[in-house]
Structure 1
Amino acid sequence: MTRLERIRQITDGSRCFARACFWSSLIVTLASLPSGGWAAPKRESGKALEIYFVDVEGGQSTLFVTAQGESLLVDTGWPDSNGRDADRIMAAAKLAGIKQLDFVLLTHYHMDHAGGITELAAQIPIRTVIDHGQNREPQAAATEKVWEDYQKLLGKEKFKRIVAKPGERLPVKGIETKVVSSDGALIDKPFSEGVEDNPACKSSERYPADHTENARSLGVLFTFEGLRILDLGDLTSDMEMKLVCPQNKLGKIDIYIVSHHGTSSSNSPAFLDAIAPRVAVMDNGAAKGGAPASWDAVKNSPRLEDFWQLHYSDEGGAAHNAADPFIANLAGPDAGNYLKLTAWPDGNFEVFNSRSKQTKRYAPAH
């Protein structure tokens, strides 16, 4: 019997005095933590790219702050809930030490991605907004309302607006930002030379065309000193396959922001096998995202080292959730914990879990 098994036997027994149980439980917790790469956060402000994954309860809001001090917010979460999501974004902005948003990128006009922009704009100056153009789902009342509110905000605030097209580079200082997808169009050439046909395409599943705003998502490949970070919003599997078939136009990815919160209409196995991320971060909610099929596709991709989640997924259950140290918000009352990724020019990066106050470091890829 191992030491850990003996401790569990003691704490599971019918006789457990308070002090003994406390210390035994603490030892179990510490013994259960992954050992490799865990450390206190590094402190090298001003030299790194920082990415805050804000908990907006199954929507998306991801704040990038470059080493040159430029800020880019991808999506603004939900509206209402007493301004919950705008407040959480503002908390991340305060942690990052920024007082304005240089860019706000809306991947598409669904409420969980673009619904919070009006409330956010009332709290912090926004210099430039980036979107894919017209709302393509006018028949959906909630989505059309988000679009109409956005148009009113554009008219009122006079932001600079960029309607992004595939293949373009966005003017964010300190990080290369290439548009992969926008308004149903995709890049037509690989990002690197010498790409060969993808043999997995011949046997991969075929997916029906999606006609919602999801397939119109404005997706971006970020590159920081060789570290490649992919965020495709809610891009669906039919569009994913066009990015990797017949050729893999994206290449290998280091950090994958899991598409569509980990729902089953995105994250096809052939796509994950092609981009082969080292680390995945899923901005799911307890009751939204984290579908087992999607989770498996990410988890089983060939190079994956770790899978981070903003929430424990109720749908995933015990078999389809990461270990506790990799989850910002465990089952139970809403706590709004965030994840933070910090990357340095030498290729090292780390992920910090604000719930556990634990950080895991990653060496450059070889």
Structure 2
Amino acid sequence: MTVIDVGQGTSVLLRTARHTLLYDTGPQYSRESDAGGRVLLPLLRSLGEERLDLLMLSHRDSDHVGGAGAVLRGLPVTRLASSLEASHGLLALAGTLGVDREPCVAGRRWTWDGVQFELLHPTAEALASADQVKPRPNTLSCVLRIGGRWSGQAHTALLTGDLEREQEARLVAQHGGLLASEVLLVPHHGSKTSSSAAFLDAVAPRVAVVQAGYRNRFGHPAMEVLARYAERGISVVDSPRCGAWHYGPAGAACWRPRGRRYWHHPDADSTHNGVEVANPVGPESTD
């Protein structure tokens, strides 16, 4: 699992022995530049990935799907799962490229190479009523739970898109302690709209990863949100200080401290809004 540094946006790469899933594609930076072309395709090619088995787009916000067009055009994709409305241009593009398209619906499960995947949100009912109700895109975020074993131990991660408090509460009511995950992708980049106390208590992660841009205009992650994680002893890793965060059988590691450049700001290392940001969990890896 690699939580990719795409700036103010989300993208997570999941690789099993023989399958590859990309969850979100980061932002569009300008008319000529986006995370797909500038970050994701070069990364995938450097890893020797020649196709994606599944591209999952959590919701329509541009900081989550801004690079999707470049990814679809630049690499063969077998399936696209999303909460996008049927008229969305990315679904049309995927169709012209022969990509199978499907909604991400709670309850769907599959296993790749011994790794279990399960969608927890949105419900089929929420998707079906979206055309009439016109909900905020955040409320339809695809929530994906991943579970696997290595070194004789179970390991789990929860990817949440821009989920907000109301949807967090529904997940807690429905799943309770079954939400428990070792790694949590912090909902909505650490916005005040998310990471409710009840949700954090149910998930009880060891480490929480924030994907946000350095000194972004939204103030992500919010100080009060970071405080809730700190109160529970949850280690927080954020992309401005960590860069890409990799987690797998060899342990966990931040890329930025190991690949420091002269232009990196020395203060962007251990604190955010006065709250300490932890080192990655587990032994460091050079993979």
Q: Alignment partner for residue 338 of structure 1, among 232, 244, 268?
A: 244
Indicate the residue corresponding to 1:63 in structure 2: 13
Q: Is residue 2:148 matched to residue 1:224?
A: yes
User: Rg: which structure is higher?
Assistant: 1
Q: Is residue 2:33 matched to residue 1:83?
A: yes
Question: In structure 1, what residue type is equivalent to 2:48?
Answer: G
Indicate the residue corresponding to 2:2 in structure 1: 52
Secondary structure (helix, strand or coil) at the match of 1:362 reads coil
1:155 to partner: Cα distance: 2.8
1:176·1:224 contact (CA, 8 Å) conserved in 2?
A: yes
Matches within 5 A, 1:307-326: 307-311=236-240
Say if 1:132 and 1:84 are closer, same or farther in 2 by CA, change over 3 A: closer
Matches within 5 A, 1:1-366: 51-66=1-16, 68-81=17-30, 82-86=32-36, 87-134=38-85, 148-170=88-110, 172-182=112-122, 211-225=135-149, 226-245=154-173, 248=176, 250-286=178-214, 287=216, 288=218, 289-302=220-233, 304=234, 306-311=235-240, 327-328=241-242, 337-342=243-248, 344=249, 350-357=251-258, 362=282
1:94 to partner: Cα distance: 3.1
1:183 to partner: Cα distance: 5.3
Counterpart CA distance in 2 for 1:211 and 1:84 is 26
State the number of aligned residues: 248
Say if 1:361 and 1:238 are closer, same or farther in 2 by CA, change over 3 A: closer
Counterpart CA distance in 2 for 1:224 and 1:100 is 22
**Superposition TM-score, scaled by structure 1 size:** 0.62
1:166·1:185 contact (CA, 8 Å) conserved in 2?
A: no
Say if 1:129 and 1:292 are closer, same or farther in 2 by CA, change over 3 A: same
**Superposition TM-score, scaled by structure 2 size:** 0.78
Indicate the residue corresponding to 2:267 in structure 1: none
Indicate the residue corresponding to 1:197 in structure 2: none
CA-atom RMSD in angstroms: 2.4
Counterpart CA distance in 2 for 1:285 and 1:184 is 33
1:173 to partner: Cα distance: 4.1
Say if 1:183 and 1:356 are closer, same or farther in 2 by CA, change over 3 A: same
1:282 to partner: Cα distance: 0.8
1:170·1:179 contact (CA, 8 Å) conserved in 2?
A: no
1:54·1:92 contact (CA, 8 Å) conserved in 2?
A: no
1:174 to partner: Cα distance: 4.1
Question: In structure 2, what residue type is equivalent to 1:339?
Answer: W
1:185·1:216 contact (CA, 8 Å) conserved in 2?
A: no
Counterpart CA distance in 1 for 2:33 and 2:52 is 18
Question: In structure 1, what residue type is equivalent to 2:255?
Answer: S
Please give the per-residue CA displacement for 1:298-349, whole angstroms capped at 9, x wherever unaligned.
22225x2x211002xxxxxxxxxxxxxxx22xxxxxxxx422122x2xxxx5
1:131·1:162 contact (CA, 8 Å) conserved in 2?
A: yes
Please give the per-residue CA displacement for 1:244-283, whole angstroms capped at 9, x wherever unaligned.
2376153421011111111110101121122110111111
